[in-house]
Amino acid sequence: MTIEEVKIEVLKLAEIISAPENKFPDFGSSNYQGNPHIDVDNYGNLYFIVVERNEEYERKITKNIKELLFWIFEGITFSMARDYELENRIKNQDFRILLFAKQDELLEKLDSDWAEITRKKHKKLLNPTEETKRNRKEYCDKLEKEGIDLVTAWNIACEKYPTE
């Protein structure tokens, strides 16, 4: 699979959920601003990479296009859901409830397996123990001070301190 073929697949799925182009990853090379970029090598490896200020924060490798597309659209739908939540915030409600519901709805339009994966993650995130909450917040704050954007920092903190 070539980088252009990956891009075509992304564009097809993006159209289904009306994803704006500014939510897309970069293809082929990084802008070094923390936006994910996608690359393909001659061995059929598909890469999902996040680089910010010349420091690599995330690298995932697969040969499975469906897995790569999930990684891409997990980020795109999260960003779209965040925008939706900001425009439709419900006073005195945990903002994540609306955000997660919107992300799950968007992913369901693309692939029910993807939606199920995020539903399970969201359930864990909405029901953490007090100690887990404290640890996540402290670690997220530490990562933010190191220059990592809030969304990436929070996701890393949640992976480090899962609820199970």
pLDDT for residue 164: 59
103: left (phi over 0), alpha (psi -120 to 50) or beta: alpha
* Cβ–Cβ under 8 Å, residues 117 and 73: no
DSSP conformational letter for 90: P
Say which residue, 3 or 124, is predicted with more confidence.
Answer: 3
| Gap between the Cα atoms of 28 and 46, Å rounded | 11
Residue 59 has pLDDT above 90, yes or no: yes
Neighbouring residues of 91: CB distance < 8 A, sequence distance ≥ 6: none
Domain parsing of the chain, residue ranges: 3-95
What is the side-by-side strand order in the sheet with 26-27? 26-27, 33-40, 46-52, 55-62
pLDDT per residue as tens digits for the range 66-125: 999 999 999 999 999 999 999 999 888 888 989 999 999 999 999 999 999 999 989 888
**pTM: predicted TM-score of the whole model, two decimal places:** 0.77
DSSP conformational letter for 15: H
pLDDT per residue as tens digits for the range 122-162: 988 887 677 788 888 999 999 999 998 888 999 899 888 88
